[in-house]
Amino acid sequence: MPSSHTPLSVAEQDSVFRPRHVAGTTVGRLAEELQATGHEPLLTPVGRREHETLLTGAAMNPHAVGEGDLFVAVSGARAHGADFIRQAVEAGATAVLTDAVGADKVREQVGYRLPVLQVEDVRQAAGPAAAVIYGNTQDSGPSLFGVTGTNGKTTTTYFLRSLLDTLHGRRGRRTGLIGTIEIGAGQETIPSQLTTPEAVQLHSLMALFRERDVAAAAMEVSSHAISYRRTAGLHYDVAGFTNLTQDHLDLHGSMEEYFATKAELFTRRRTRTSVITVDDPWGHQMASVATGRVVTLATAGQAAEVDWEVVDVVPDGMGHRFTLHHARSGARIRTRTGLPGLFNVSNAALAAVMVLEAPDVPFTREEVVDALESDPFTISVPGRMQVICESPAAIVDFAHNPDAMIRTLDAVAATKGEGRIILVIGAAGDRDRSKRPTMGAIAVRMADHVIVSDDDPHGEDPAQIRDDVMAGAREAVESGGLTTVLEEIWPRAEAIERAVASASPRDTVILAGRGHEIHQDFDGDHRPIDDRVELREALLRHGHRPLEIQDSTVQDSTPSGRAHAPDDAG
Ligand SMILES: CC(=O)N[C@H]1[C@@H](OP(=O)(O)OP(=O)(O)OC[C@H]2O[C@@H](n3ccc(=O)[nH]c3=O)[C@H](O)[C@@H]2O)O[C@H](CO)[C@@H](O)[C@@H]1O[C@H](C)C(=O)N[C@@H](C)C(=O)N[C@H](CCC(=O)O)C(=O)O
Ligand SMILES: Nc1ncnc2c1ncn2[C@@H]1O[C@H](COP(=O)(O)OP(=O)(O)OP(=O)(O)O)[C@@H](O)[C@H]1O
């Protein structure tokens, strides 16, 4: 088990979390199952040997292929998986699921050495195929709790898991977690490559969870995952919706399309009980289109005809105490969250209601109430409103879209007193460009001193990304007659140093956008940097007294000594 988030190669990760006791299936039986579910597979060659070939796993990434695996070769923006067939065969793949182009590529490279199942839509077939291989059915795995929405997925799943852990832990059972930061089964964790893994990995995880007595799992469901069919073949006991605001328009094109993608999760076919936060119009719309059992939750005060509402919110330390009121029964449940920001009350309330409304659970509502009263939401979440120092207040947060920035800066403004807000922001490359100037404008309107720096430029020119953010910021300063100090400083470590150097003990320094991340990607060059470590060191240099960082995702070594990200993450 990795004790910290030292990057592991995909192969290493796979070996930590590979289920060991998979009965598997034969290629012939898999072809029949795919036929029965409408995928119309074409199997070549069609001999008895091919039909009887045993499959005991599935992998889409050639680095993750193991002995006896079905290699799922998809056509993507960067490559066709079938280009890596030799590597997959060497690693032990015994059959391939691919499209017509992939089938030709396989034959060109390895002839008829292994059976090829050809389908039209490989991503659509991958989940159901993996489900058959791993023996996953609707009722075979842990209770599955999925969370989607633009912001709050990671935090809500951490809260959910903490609550589920309290409840199942009392019965000696384990819980699981799948999300942006890490994948966990009981005490064991591996760092994540994606927020929501590919379907083949998800099904492998469901088998692993069964093997390791994981009773319930909390999982983030990104809109990319739904678009790319990563969740095909999974069934959720409960799915929760946080909110919908501008992000990912590069993929979805419009908010309507973005909404429609998320809405796929809240259908009877996928989910038994949907818990929808109805704080914004998109939430109301989601509640009206969701099929199956729908439960509504209002966390922001305006509650008409909702099932649950949050009332009596009072500040408590860095976080808040609040009450969940159930309209029908009149029940009132008091609980608390330790994380700053009213949005964390919303996240905690969603987690609570998802468990309170879960079908077929081995615990009573009284036990859930008891667990809620024992403070399951006072955990910290890596890089989410993570407090690094109290004087000056210094916080690392993951806000990287307009709404998250507004919420985060609102939260800081509510507690900052007379001090100033000093903010470091950037924006990621190769992602929704339209949000950059908006983020710049929000920054200068809500903070007193804004330092624009780099996030993950990926394949884009970092200077161009900073320009886009600066353009929105300058325009807002000029048109609004603002007195905000605006600077552009890179690399990021220097921006952090500048923020801390400018801070008096009454001020609040907030680093937005990178949260738990430990590398910046400059066109494939993964440069180590952890905002939490960088901020802590700058605070120490300037004679402040930061807190110890109690977080397994933080690297032990100094910034320059940290390892590089795996270069085989694709
Ligand atoms: C836009 C998107 O989601 N793309 C994902 C998609 O890419 P793709 O279909 O273009 O495929 P590709 O990268 O060309 O690869 C095709 C095949 O060749 C293989 N390959 C490819 C290249 C290589 O060097 N070696 C290799 O073996 C791949 O394993 C794959 O089997 O499938 C790939 C294989 O799984 C993913 O790595 C890739 O995620 C990219 C890296 C990514 O950044 N995705 C982000 C945007 C994402 O999915 N984010 C959401 C969270 C968003 C949020 O809420 O903030 C997430 O769920 O993580
Ligand atoms: N309920 C919420 N509403 C609005 N903003 C939120 C909410 N919860 C968290 N945030 C903000 O969004 C940031 C990301 O939070 P979190 O990681 O929990 O969301 P996420 O949906 O998993 O994000 P991503 O998909 O980008 O990984 C936080 O650091 C905070 O700034």
Please determine, for residue 558, whether its predicted confidence score (pLDDT) is greater than 60: no
Please determine, for residue 535, whether its predicted confidence score (pLDDT) is greater than 70: yes
Measured by CA distance, the residue closest to atom 5 of ligand 2 is: 404
With CA atoms as reference, report the closest residue to 53 among 137, 139, 134, 116: 116
Helix (H) or strand (E) holding 406: helix 402-415
Please determine, for residue 440, whether its predicted confidence score (pLDDT) is greater than 80: yes
Q: Which atom of ligand 2 is nearest to the CA of 397?
A: 29
CA of 561 to the centre of ligand 1 (A): 28
> Residues near 303 by Cβ (< 8 Å), separated by ≥ 6?
309
Beta strands in 319-365 (DSSP E): 319-326, 332-337
Do residues 382 and 191 make contact, with C-beta atoms less than 8 angstroms apart?
A: no
Please determine, for residue 377, whether its predicted confidence score (pLDDT) is greater than 80: yes
Phi first, then psi: what are they for 427, rounded to 5°? -150, 150
- Give 10's pLDDT tier (boundaries 50, 70, 90): low
> Residues near 321 by Cβ (< 8 Å), separated by ≥ 6?
312, 313, 314, 334, 335, 336
Q: Report how far residue 168's alpha carbon sits from residue 182's, in angstroms, rounded to the nearest whole number.
A: 20
pTM over 0.80: yes
Measured by CA distance, the residue closest to atom 32 of ligand 1 is: 76
Does ligand 1 come within 6 angstroms of the Cβ of 60? yes
Question: Which domains does the chain possess?
Answer: 23-134 (3.40.1390.10), 143-373 (3.40.1190.10), 386-553 (3.90.190.20)
The residue ranking higher by pLDDT, 298 or 378, is 298
Most confident of the following: 364-378, 407-421, 438-452? 438-452
- Give 45's pLDDT tier (boundaries 50, 70, 90): confident
Please determine, for residue 569, whether its predicted confidence score (pLDDT) is greater than 70: no
Confidence (pLDDT) at 563: 31
Please determine, for residue 315, whether its predicted confidence score (pLDDT) is greater than 90: yes
Q: Report how far residue 123's alpha carbon sits from residue 364's, in angstroms, rounded to the nearest whole number.
A: 39
Q: CB 37: neighbour CB atoms within 10 A?
A: 16
- Kindly report, residue by residue over 225-270, the tens digit of the pLDDT: 999 999 998 999 999 999 998 776 777 678 999 999 999 999 999 9
Measured by CA distance, the residue closest to atom 46 of ligand 1 is: 224
- Kindly report, residue by residue over 324-343, the tens digit of the pLDDT: 999 999 999 999 999 999 99
Please determine, for residue 11, whether its predicted confidence score (pLDDT) is greater than 80: no
The residue ranking higher by pLDDT, 8 or 377, is 377
Per the prediction, the chain carries an average pLDDT of 91
Look up the ipTM and state it.
0.97
Q: Which atom of ligand 2 is nearest to the CA of 220?
A: 22
- Kindly report, residue by residue over 461-479, the tens digit of the pLDDT: 999 999 999 999 999 999 9
Phi first, then psi: what are they for 201, rounded to 5°? -70, -40
Measured by CA distance, the residue closest to atom 35 of ligand 1 is: 198
Q: Binding residue per annotation — 44?
A: no
Does ligand 2 come within 6 angstroms of the Cβ of 153? yes
| Distance from the first to the final alpha carbon of the chain | 23
pLDDT average, residue stretch 119-123:
96
